Structure 1
Amino acid sequence: MISKPEDKAMHQLRCQQSELLDKIDELRGIGVGGLVELPQLIVCGSQSSGKSSVLEAISRVRFPTKGTLCTRFATEVILRRKPQTRVKVSIEPGDSRTDERERERLRNFTSEAFSSDNDLSELINQARDFMGISDNVNQHAGFSDDVLKIEISGPDKPELTLVDLPGLYTSASKEQSKEGIPIVRQLTERYMAKSRSIILAVISAKVDYHIQEVLDIAKDHDPHYERVLAIVTHTDKLDEGSDEEERYLQYIRNEGIKLKLGWHALRNRSHKTRNVPDDERDEEERVHFSKGRWASLPRAHVGIDRLRHRLSSILLKHIAGNLPILIRDIDQKIDDRKQSLAKLGTARPTTRDQRGFLLNISSNFQRIAAEALNGMYSKDFFGGLNNELLESGDARRLRAVIRELNEYFADAMSMHGFRRQLPKGVSEVPKPLSDLRNLKFQSYLNQWVPEMVTEEELMNQMMRQASNNRGIEFPGSANQLLVGELFRDQARPWGDIAQYHLNQAWESVNEFVQLAFGYLTDDSTQKALLAGVINPELEKLRDSLDNKLDELLSYTTSGHPLPIGRSFLERIQQSRINHQMRNLKDNLVFSNNSSENWGEQGQNTFTLHDLENAATQLQTTEGQFAVVDIVTQMQTYYETAILVFIDNVAILAIENCLLRPLEHIFSNQVINSMDDEEIEKLAGESQEVKEERERLSRELKKLEAGMRTLSTFSADRSSLSRPSALEAQLPLAEGAALITGATRLLSKSMEVRTGQIIREVLRLAMSIEFLA
């Protein structure tokens, strides 16, 4: 009968611990453990290291200790404190069991509750036979990924759940085959790799430590030993005062190999004492650790009694600390399954169902396409506006990608859009807005590299062309057709750069479409839609782009420059003035370089005669064919035409021929025009799709059941993940650290105030053994 307040607090703490552990076990039972990692204690070590004896000592239940098949599969040992003794054995099918009928058959294995511990060996043998595991070592090494569940309850049992793994071994024998060596190691590593597994590494002191590899394997998956508690067995087999005994004492004091959870020492039963009562076994262990150098060890780190309490506390704290993350993981898995099921849609046996399925995909695609083109990226498909992990150039954000490509195109045209780089003063190359180190921008620049020419080379070329193309023009003038010819030659790179740009834009649209349909439907339907409808439509858009580019380029390959408006006239007049002023200044300086012509403050002074000589020289330099004016007219027209061309490529080609038609490549009209045979081909369900829907539905049910199981604790997640102000001020004594997780879980069910409970439990933890 519970009367004192501290007794009531301790009783409620135990009940809360039992409830929490039962919830985690229930998650395993309904299959959630196969979908998300669950907090657990795993017992691993070499064969004959004393693992079975450790489990016996903890549970006070006799496990079969001979090297038989009971240790050739994972065994989940569930210990609960109940008034009556009860032992129950069941089987959880492993992932290798793909036949649902076979899985159901294994789950239907049940055993009646037994009152005697001596029946455990018989129960395990029955379960082993039910799994189909034979004593013949030639049959697949005698190992299974099925999990044997042993539920043991009684008044003296701790609140614990452990997973016992097959013992590691390195040599074959009559009872165990060579093929089983890697199987056991792989099974052990699979459990160790789970970040929510606490590793109980059992190490035998009667065997050289260096040939026991369990800690080395654990380090591969937990490099800093944050999840490892080492349990040293057979400590009575060490010679008193020997170097080997001192070495293990250092380990247990956590001085040799430092483990975050530390070490623990036990004295196992010997063959002679295998049948002595449990109390007698525990007394012999207490006497052993009270003698010699063993007496110097902390009492909390020796003996089975303290190990029970230590493991209970570690497991409870571990589960409590992982609970908020576990709930979030299950939430995420539920969302993933729902999204996958939404892609698959409901079952669609009839043509009408299939047409409706496609219409739903069509409506969603048109919505996503419209949002992508309008730059509205707040929906799930786009990753949200505040997604910091999103990489630049993500194809889902189509408008942003196209705008970036247009900027690269404009800069590339400005920098490399001409066949010949004209001398400075005739034309200036602007600085790009794009980053020259950007690889995508560099690929645009690589489409054409201009030829560099000097002013003298340019003038000589123009003089030769003017001379070879003389017509009926007046002397001192050039054939006006040379302006158009020179322009077409200078604009030759436009086609290559623009074609590359349109290819990049089309590839971006193609990638966007692939991602959109991958998001909206399952793989099978996506492949059918892309192959049967979408890809042909995209090819039509590509052809439309190419045709539009040919149209935009046609006037640069033939025809005459016909500038319209005052802007061209103003620009060419200004260009002529600038050119003449530059040459006039150069001639004046060249012919009057005497210091006598320089006035105060560095200003030149010239006579009227100087100006007349410079003007005469200017006319002579320009030559009889006025080639300078031809170059000026061409360059002025080029600078006007390139801006129009860039805009036309971006608007008339990309916007009109690629982006605007995008929403309509899979519209409702397209689907309504299909006959029943086409609909069946696109939306008919394969057997794989049906099986995938069934699998996802099963997993979703498990996860939702798991969330309901944890609903008691998920209502106040913040209280599980953040310590209270009172807890933050608690002393870091061992008892306080061990019950931190448990005290967080008491606030909702206690009849007295939480602060009082914490203080009472702390006082008890300092004076008596935790959960004694």
Structure 2
Amino acid sequence: MSSQQQRPSFQLRASRLDAAVSSNSPGRHLSALSAEYDRQVRPFIDLVDSLRNSGVDQDLNLPSIAVIGDQSTGKSSVLEAISGVHLPRGQGMMTRCALELRMKREETSQWRALLRTQSFKKRQLQTQSDGHHMTKPEDVEKAVLTAQDKLVGNKRAISQKERIVLEVTSPDVPDLTLIDLPGIIMNPASDQPSDIVEQVDQLIESYVSRQETIILCVIPCHQDIASNKALSVARQHDETGKRTLGVLTRADLTEPGAEGNLVDLIQNRGESHIKLGYTIVKCRSQQDTINGVTLQQALQKEQSFFDSNKVFSKLPNSCKGIPSLAQTLTKQLVAHIRSCLPALIESTSRELGLTKQKLSQIGKPVPDDKQTYLINLLYEYSRQLRAATEGGIGVRTTSVAISCNRDGTLLDALKSHSVQLFSKAREAFEELETEMEMLMPNDKDLPKIETLLHKLRGAKLVGFEDYPIFAELAREKVSSLETLSMNCFENVTDLVQNAFREIADKQFRRFERLRLCVVEQVDELFEKSKEEGRQILSTMMEAEKIIYSSDKTFKDCLKKIPDSEEIKQQMKLKAIDYDSQISGNSSPRSSSPQSDQDGGFQLFTAAQIELNDDKPLRPTRGGLEMLRKLKAYFQIVQSRLGDSVPMVIMHNLFKEFTKEVDAKLVSHILSSVGEGNTGFKDSVRPTAMLLQEEEELTIKRENLQQKAKRLQEGERKLKSFSSARHLDIN
């Protein structure tokens, strides 16, 4: 037989508890809870209370019951009746911060209570260590008022961050935890803050909006239930009503004839937003308190009232009276805790993992051996910078190694953890090649070639081209290539500078002084490498203005360029009727090109080729041949620069720069924290100063460490509890 078959279901256990409760004889108002009830109920509530004691409720929403109601609707009276303690009562706002009321039933113990306050300090909820111990229920009211004054200060204000925790242990209380919230108000009193309504609404919303919270909505019988503000708040945050429970107070003030409507509501006849049902009660009134009516006497009066009322007496006992309400609340809370356990365990593990990840990203505190730690940081920075300039997948900008993402995509992992400097530089080099290609001599250069040939022809016969003209045109092209090359150099310079600063930002993000110190030093080393690279590139470009190529290289390249006859054949396809352009007649007379006495083809309009006398020139065989040779030489220069420019850039901005960083960075930083001041502009920087974290980061680490400790403890308790009770949490 499976373990699940051996264990009775929770519903079956609950039915046994009901039988145990109903079979007990009257006595103390909640002493009917049986040993079976203790065994099944108490551990669940103790578990959640222990999680709260560990502070887990700062990080996760724990199952709870939040008590809400309009101001002065008997909310405190209900809590007072359930817990047996005297809580602040009266007109106006008596509850000014959240009050967590933890009740623990112990048959053999004397009544005792412990009141502690919790407040946020350094973004952490700090619990009062000693607290206020009490042995009399009547002492609670004064202790709560004193604690509220201490936490809130202004007696007419509320606090959204502080809370009071009241632990009551007694044989007369149920095993139950309730959170009492300030009463809802419609308008501020004259001596209250102008935004008090919004403050109260925000505090209530922070609890009731959680799916883990059961909403106990307190509604007076003698008021219009449909327009009750607390019920409206419950509807807003629990649209289905599946986690809302209603308690109808002041049953004795119900208007004659209205009892039937209340009975219909309680017995779920007709429409009702509240799915967990209603319980009707009659608590001790303010006048009863003045007259000295005890809580025990008030319970007896309540029972007598319901027994004697012709309408309410017909209601099942489970729907009326404080004892029934306490039992209902306990059963609902335990069932709610049990249903929330699987998600709570999962949320705890997930949140713990995220917290550990954040701690890993922040890094551990600086060890005592600060100099060794500093050296390792600097060496790691140098390694990352070198890896970025060498390419590949070895560069890491976080303390975690590169690994594939969950979906197995290495590319995404690289984007997340590496500075892709080398690949970005390659993109710049490819862009340079593309821009060079666009400067290749073409037909558009023919007008200038023909113009120069015509102007500098002198006494030479037609068809004899001139080498100086070729050299001048080649130098112009080289000058254009020089501009592109220097632009590429500057672009890669920016990439490298951004990369080493980005790596520094991540490597030294914890230490702002060290980061500034490293960036200052690396900037100086980079400026040196950059200037040397610029000089080399400038010299190389000056050398390119010497028109030279080996005969073999030039001839081999020239063979690949179509000769003038082939060019002419290609150009026939785009020939234009020259005479029609000259005469202004835009209609071509023929699709065949016109030849002149030099054997050239007329392809250009007057606007394309002009001399000072406005006489247009025609392309010649000599011009076409010079264009062919210019193309051949340009390809040679382009090929040289396409390799040499990137090589110069990589040599100076990558290799020499990272070599300088490897050789000098550590020694310069260390010399700056020793005797004297070598390599830095300002005063000596002690190691401790360089490794001093921002206070914000230190606080963040401490908070995360405390959070991780809380969650680890919570995870341990949850898993131990589930394992011990053989709960199915899947």
Q: TM-score, normalised by structure 2?
A: 0.71
Which has the larger displacement, 64-73 or 527-536? Answer: 64-73
Residues in 2 aligned to 1:590 and 1:339: alpha-carbon distance in whole angstroms: 69
Corresponding residue number in structure 1 for 2:541? 556
Q: 1:434 — aligned with what?
A: none
Return the match for 1:538 from 523, 532, 536. 523
Paired AA for residue 713 in structure 2? R
AA at the equivalent of 2:709: E
Task: State the AA in 2 paired with 1:675.
Answer: G
Matched, 1:169 2:185: yes
Distance 1:548 1:654 in 2: 7
SS state of the match for residue 385, structure 1?
coil
Q: Is contact 1:377-1:384 (8 Å) kept? A: no
- Cα distance, 1:210 vs structure 2: 7.2
Tell me the CA shift for residue 334 of structure 1.
5.1
Q: Which residue of 2 aligns with 1:516?
A: 507
Q: Write the distance in 2 (CA, Å) between the matches of 1:461 and 1:195.
A: 81
Aligned-pair RMSD on alpha carbons? 5.2
Q: How does 1:394-413 map to 2 (within 5 A)?
A: 397-399=417-419, 401-413=420-432
Match of 2:336 among 309, 314, 331: 314
Q: Which amino acid aligns with 2:471?
A: L
1:151 match: 167
- CA–CA distance in structure 1, aligned partners of residues 619 and 428 of structure 2: 38
In structure 2, do the counterparts of structure 1 residues 359 and 420 end up closer, same or farther at CA, with 3 Å as the change threshold?
closer
Q: TM-score, normalised by structure 1?
A: 0.67
Please tell me whether the aligned partners of residues 143 and 180 of structure 1 are also in contact (alpha carbons under 8 angstroms): no
State the one-letter code of the partner of 2:517.
Answer: G
Aligned partner of 1:110 in structure 2 is 132
From 485, 499, 502, the counterpart of 1:494: 485
Aligned partners of 1:166 and 1:184 also within 8 Å: yes
Contact 1:232 1:264 in 2 (8 A): yes
**2:366 aligned with 1:345:** yes
Residue among 278, 287, 300 paired with 2:299: 278
Q: Residue 673 of structure 2 contacts residue 686 of structure 2 at CA under 8 Å; is this kept in 1?
A: no
C-alpha distance after superposition, 1:90-144 (max 9, x if no partner): 22331169999xx78x532331444xx4443244345446x2766x747xx3657
More displaced 10-residue stretch of structure 1: 553-562 or 237-246? 237-246
1:267 aligns with 2:266: no
Counterpart amino acid of residue 485 in structure 2:
W
3-state SS of 2:186 partner:
coil
CA separation in 1, counterparts of 2:357 and 2:457?
78
- Deviation, structure 1 residue 544: 2.2
Q: What displacement does 1:327 show?
A: 3.8
1:652 is matched with 651
Displacement of 1:293: 11
User: Using the alignment, how far apart are the partners of 2:306 and 2:664 within structure 1?
Assistant: 79
Quote the Cα distance in structure 2 between the aligned partners of 1:405 and 1:586: 40
C-alpha spacing 1:667/1:196, structure 2 compared with 1 (3 Å): farther
Look up the SS of the partner of 1:269 in the other structure.
Answer: coil
| Larger CA Rg, structure 1 vs 2 | 2
C-alpha deviation, 1:76, in angstroms = 0.9
**Distance in 1 between the 2:596 and 2:112 partners?**
120
2:556 equivalent in structure 1: 570
Quote how far apart the aligned CAs of 1:162 are. Answer: 2.5
Query: In structure 1, the residue corresponding to 2:116 is in which secondary structure?
Result: strand
Partner of 2:248: 233
Q: Distance in 2 between matches of 1:676 and 1:655?
A: 32
The residue type paired with residue 394 of structure 2 is M
Contact 2:471 2:547 in 1 (8 A): no
Whether the 8 Å contact between 2:152 and 2:159 is mirrored in structure 1 is yes
Alpha-carbon deviation of 1:499?
1.8
1:531-680 matched pairs, under 5 angstroms: 531-545=516-530, 547-556=532-541, 559-563=545-549, 569-577=555-563, 580-584=565-569, 587=572, 617=600, 621-625=619-623, 626-645=625-644, 647-648=646-647, 651-658=650-657, 661=660, 666-667=665-666, 670-671=669-670, 674-676=673-675, 680=685
SS of the aligned residue for 2:561 comes to helix
The residue that corresponds to 2:375 in the other structure is: 359
* CA contact 1:133–1:142 (8 Å) conserved in 2: yes
Cα deviation, 1:207-264, whole Å, max 9, x if unaligned, reads 45676555666788x586688525353384666887995999499789565x7x7554
Moved more, 57-66 or 318-327: 57-66
Supply the distance in 2 between the matched residues of 1:661 and 1:653 (Cα, whole angstroms).
10
Within the candidate set 144, 148, 159, 1:124 is matched to 144
Render the CA deviation track for 1:345-368: whole Å, top value 9, x for unaligned. 14x5xxxx5434422432443455
Decide whether the 8 Å contact of 1:49 with 1:233 is kept in 2. Answer: no
**Deviation of residue 314 (structure 1)?**
1.5
- Residue 457 (structure 2) pairs with residue 481 (structure 1): no
Distance apart, 1:408 and its partner CA:
3.0
State yes or no: 1:333 paired with 2:323. no
Deviating more after overlay: 619-628 vs 643-652: 619-628
Q: 1:531 to 1:587 in 2, by over 3 A?
A: closer
Query: Is the 8 Å Cα contact of residues 483 and 630 (structure 1) preserved in structure 2?
Result: no
| Distance across 2 between alignment mates of 1:550 and 1:393 | 38
Q: 2:709 aligns with which of 686, 704, 708?
A: 704
How far apart, CA to CA, are the structure 1 residues paired with 2:231 and 2:220?
12
Aligned partners of 2:664 and 2:217: how far apart in 1?
A: 61
CA distance in 1, matches of 2:242, 2:456: 89
User: What SS does the aligned partner of 2:514 have?
Assistant: helix
Contact 1:254–1:262 under 8 Å retained in 2: no
Q: Deviations over 1:258-301 (max 9, x none)?
A: x7x75544334363777444365367569989759988x9999x
C-alpha separation between the residues in 2 aligned to 1:691 and 1:513? 19
Aligned mates of 1:391, 1:216 — CA distance in 2: 51
Determine the C-alpha separation between the residues in 2 that align with 1:589 and 1:34: 79
The Cα shift of 1:529 comes to: 1.2
- With over 3 angstroms needed to count, the CA separation of the structure-2 counterparts of 1:542 and 1:582, relative to structure 1, is same
Partner of 2:405: 386
Greater RCO, CA 8 A, separation 6+:
1
Distance 1:367 1:588 in 2: 59
Alignment partner of 1:89 is 2:114: yes
The corresponding residue for 1:596 is none
* 8 Å Cα contact 1:463/1:627 also seen in 2: no
Distance in 1 between the 2:310 and 2:657 partners? Answer: 82
Matched, 1:73 2:97: yes
Q: Which amino acid aligns with 2:281?
A: R
Q: What whole-Å deviation, never above 9, does each CA across 1:719-768 have from its counterpart, x for those lacking one?
A: xxxxxxxxxxxxxxxxxxxxxxxxxx554357xxx79xx9xxxxxxxxxx
**Runs of 5+ in structure 2 lacking a partner?**
1-6, 18-34, 577-592, 603-617, 678-683
2:346 equivalent to 1:324: yes
What does the per-residue CA deviation read over 1:379-400, in whole Å, with 9 as the maximum and x for residues that have no partner? 744664326699969876445x
Inter-CA distance 588–354: structure 2 relative to 1 (3 Å threshold): closer
Matched residue SS, 1:95? strand
Deviation at 1:513, TM superposition (A): 1.8
Look up the match of 1:438: none
Alignment of 1:458 onto 2:445: yes
> What's the CA shift string for 1:419-460, capped at 9, x where partnerless?
7576xxx4xxxxxxxxxxxxxxxxxxxxxxxxxxxx3x4211
Relative to structure 1, the CA distance from residue 749 to residue 371 in structure 2 (aligned partners, 3 Å threshold; closer, same or farther) is farther
Distance change >3 Å, CA 173–CA 185, structure 1 → 2: same
Assess, with a 3 A threshold, how the Cα gap between structure 1 residues 320 and 590 changes in structure 2: closer, same or farther: closer
| In structure 2, C-alpha distance between the alignment counterparts of 1:585 and 1:58, rounded to whole Å | 103
Q: Distance in 2 between matches of 1:556 and 1:698?
A: 59
Residue aligned with 1:667, SS: helix
The verdict on how the C-alpha distance between 1:476 and 1:172 changes in structure 2, with shifts beyond 3 A counting, is: closer
Which of 435, 447, 471 in structure 2 is aligned with 1:416? Answer: 435
Percent identical among aligned pairs is 15
Deviation at 1:463, TM superposition (A): 1.9
**CA distance change for structure 1 residues 57 and 544 in 2, over 3 Å: closer, same or farther?**
same
Q: In structure 1, what is the equivalent of residue 394 of structure 2?
A: 376
> What is the aligned residue count?
643
Structure 2 letter corresponding to 1:584: Q
Q: Distance in 1 between matches of 2:47 and 2:490?
A: 63
